[in-house]
């Protein structure tokens, strides 16, 4: 099989894996209690937690993703809500994801030494996920040369076209599936904070992640055969028990990042958007009381209009608007890598458009199952019958893409960058840009890490020259 190696190989693991030059020095200065090689399973948790903490940070996924698609709004410090994101956000997410790829490479190298194919497969899934998020957030990114070995000495990798990154990641996922199904090797459950050592769970994640990736590029190429093969495999998520999510603990520093910011740090600037609140009220959506808290001033559910320069906006102070619902402010609230609900919506879309078999009957079943699953996850499943009976919600072949996209937008509440990415793909519901935005349209990407222009300037400039300017309104390849 292919072997993928990231150029930024962590120094700590290099020190562990490779012996020094001076044998006498080692004899007199070694710790007999230190292992010569760290078990590969011990590396799994680090990239998983770091990715989750970064993407679910209120300064990242909330201020950008959730605000830009008008799930949330900011009562103060609202430049991100007006399409001027923090430089630290764009830099930090980039660096965290590339560090996660480096960690996953270390995991893979250790697993190769152990001849542990299962952990090699886990490493490829983590790398695939990180690269997909990178290219979806930034566009063209270092990939082919960024996965060369340290002996290559290439610290200025070229930026690959997003289409090529997708091709490489899809191959990675195929290789991961083979390794995970091999049964060769085991994973220490105590270190695997996503699937507790269950190789089958990781394999289902790999299959479902590939389904999502294929749907993301479905407007650019025919992906029907590959999607149908995934359905036929029987290895897609089949319940909430299969989905990829990190469940946080009840106390910091391992509590949910949204809880840590909003509750522990008492940051009251995060409120619900008027767009989402008005939608939930208008549709009699039973998730309203779960997503939102009543405004303390009135006791009503009130959202703040997005993107006004005035802070606080007259009539929409922190006491006048709804805060994020307490259900989503629990320390144990999970960070989703991919949910079963999202997969069901994607399968509904695929069936409706003829990418997978079953036609409109299957599309309706997937769609209704997705809505029911979302309501059940939020503890309001009893309201399903009335909700689905609304003609604006009920499945119809005419307008199905809009209904699926709109309901997926509603269901991905508090899923940050992923919610924004799906909205960028479907463009449903139709949103009005921020009132006083620094840009006239909702952003389509993040700007590249700010140090790239100096440390990798030739390749950075080459990438930027292909699309004109490193700006947040440039569409990535798969966007229409």
Give the pLDDT confidence of 359-416 residue by residue, as tens digits: 999 999 999 999 999 999 999 999 999 999 999 999 999 999 999 999 999 999 999 9
pLDDT of residue 193: 98
Instruction: Label residues 273-306 b or e (16+ Cβ within 10 Å = b).
Output: bbbbbbbbeebebbbbbbbbbebeeeeebbbbbb
Q: Residue 191 in contact with residue 42, Cβ under 8 Å?
A: yes
Does pLDDT of 204 surpass 90? Answer: yes
pLDDT of residue 37: 74
Q: How far apart are CA 215 and CA 426, in angstroms?
A: 11
Does pLDDT of 116 surpass 90? Answer: yes
Tokens (6 digits) for 272 = 């619900």
Instruction: Label residues 222-244 b or e (16+ Cβ within 10 Å = b).
Output: ebbebbeebbeeebbbeeeebbb
Give percent above pLDDT 90 in the chain.
89
Q: Residue 270 in contact with residue 395, Cβ under 8 Å?
A: no
pLDDT of residue 273: 98
pLDDT band at 480, cuts 50/70/90?
very high
pLDDT of residue 155: 81
Burial of 399 (0-12, 13-18, 19+ CB in 10 A): exposed
Domain boundaries along the sequence of the chain? 1-27+37-237+444-480, 271-329
Does pLDDT of 151 surpass 80? Answer: no
Q: Residue 102 in contact with residue 6, Cβ under 8 Å?
A: yes
Tokens (6 digits) for 166 = 């997708």
pLDDT of residue 429: 98
Give the pLDDT confidence of 92-108 residue by residue, as tens digits: 999 999 999 999 999 99
Does pLDDT of 126 surpass 60? Answer: yes
DSSP code string of 181-240: TS--S---TTT-TTTTT-HHHHHHHHHHHHHHHHHHTTTTS--HHHHHHHHHHT-S--ST
Helix (H) or strand (E) holding 108: helix 87-114
Give the pLDDT confidence of 309-331 residue by residue, as tens digits: 999 999 999 999 999 999 999 99
Region 122-131 average pLDDT: 98
DSSP secondary structure letter of residue 390: S
Can you name the residues that pair with 72 across neighbouring β-strands? 272
Burial of 27 (0-12, 13-18, 19+ CB in 10 A): exposed
Helix (H) or strand (E) holding 47: helix 45-55
pLDDT of residue 146: 83
Region 105-125 average pLDDT: 96
> How is domain 1-27+37-237+444-480 classified at the CATH fold level?
1.25.40
Give the pLDDT confidence of 222-247 residue by residue, as tens digits: 999 999 999 999 999 999 999 999 99
pLDDT of residue 36: 64
User: Coil, strand, or helix at residue 323?
Assistant: strand
> What Rg, from alpha-carbon coordinates, does the chain have?
23
pLDDT band at 2, cuts 50/70/90?
very low
Q: Distances in Å between the alpha carbon of 322 and those of 119, 236, 325, 403? A: 44, 37, 8, 26
Region 36-57 average pLDDT: 95
The residue with tokens 């919610």 is 419
pLDDT band at 268, cuts 50/70/90?
confident
Of 163, 130, 84, residue with least CA distance to 443: 84
Tokens (6 digits) for 476 = 């990535």
**Chain mean pLDDT for the chain:** 92
pLDDT of residue 33: 53
Does pLDDT of 19 surpass 70? Answer: no
Give the pLDDT confidence of 161-176 residue by residue, as tens digits: 999 999 999 999 999 9
Q: 16-23 long-range contacts, Cβ below 8 Å, gap at least 24?
A: 17/109, 17/110, 17/113
Burial of 162 (0-12, 13-18, 19+ CB in 10 A): buried
């Amino acid at each position: 099989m292919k072997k993928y190696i990231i150029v930024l190989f962590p120094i700590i693991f290099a020190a562990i894996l490779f012996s020094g030059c001076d044998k006498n020095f080692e004899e007199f200065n070694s710790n007999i209690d230190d292992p010569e090689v760290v078990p590969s399973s011990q590396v799994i948790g680090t990239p998983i937690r770091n990715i989750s903490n970064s993407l679910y940070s209120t300064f990242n996924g909330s201020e950008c993703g959730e605000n830009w698609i008008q799930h949330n709004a900011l009562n103060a410090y609202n430049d991100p809500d007006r399409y001027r994101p923090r430089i630290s956000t764009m830099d930090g997410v980039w660096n965290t994801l590339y560090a996660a790829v480096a960690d996953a490479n270390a995991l893979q190298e250790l697993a190769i030494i152990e001849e542990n194919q299962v952990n090699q497969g886990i490493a490829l899934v983590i790398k695939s996920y990180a690269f997909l998020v990178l290219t979806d957030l930034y566009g063209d990114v270092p990939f082919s040369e960024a996965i060369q070995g340290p002996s290559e000495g290439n610290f200025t990798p070229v930026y690959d076209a997003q289409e090529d990154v997708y091709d490489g990641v899809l191959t990675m996922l195929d290789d991961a599936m083979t390794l995970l199904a091999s049964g060769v090797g085991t994973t220490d459950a105590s270190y695997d904070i996503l699937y507790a050592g269950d190789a089958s769970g990781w394999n289902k994640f790999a299959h479902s992640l590939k389904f999502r990736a294929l749907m993301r590029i479905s407007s650019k190429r025919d992906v029907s055969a590959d999607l149908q093969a995934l359905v036929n495999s029987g290895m897609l998520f089949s319940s909430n028990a299969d989905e990829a999510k990190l469940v946080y603990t009840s106390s910091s520093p391992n509590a949910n990042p949204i809880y840590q910011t909003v509750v522990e740090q008492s940051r009251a600037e995060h409120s619900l958007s008027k767009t989402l609140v008005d939608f939930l009220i208008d549709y009699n959506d039973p998730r309203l009381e779960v997503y939102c808290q009543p405004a303390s001033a009135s006791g009503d559910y009130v959202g703040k209009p997005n993107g006004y320069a005035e802070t606080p906006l007259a009539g929409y102070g922190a006491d006048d608007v709804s805060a994020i619902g307490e259900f989503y402010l629990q320390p144990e609230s999970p960070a989703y890598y991919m949910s079963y609900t999202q997969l069901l919506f994607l399968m509904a879309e695929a069936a409706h458009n003829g990418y997978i078999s079953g036609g409109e009957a299957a599309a309706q079943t997937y769609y209704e199952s997705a809505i029911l699953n979302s309501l059940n996850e939020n503890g309001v499943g009893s309201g399903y019958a009335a909700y689905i009976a609304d003609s604006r919600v009920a499945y119809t072949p005419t307008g199905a893409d809009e209904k699926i996209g709109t309901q997926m937008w509603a269901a991905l509440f508090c899923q940050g960058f992923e919610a924004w990415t799906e909205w960028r793909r479907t463009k449903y519901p139709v949103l009005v840009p921020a009132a006083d935005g620094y840009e006239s349209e909702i952003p389509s990407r993040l700007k590249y890490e700010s140090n790239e222009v100096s440390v990798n300037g030739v390749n950075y400039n080459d990438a930027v020259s292909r699309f004109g300017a490193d700006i947040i309104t440039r569409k990535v390849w798969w966007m229409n």
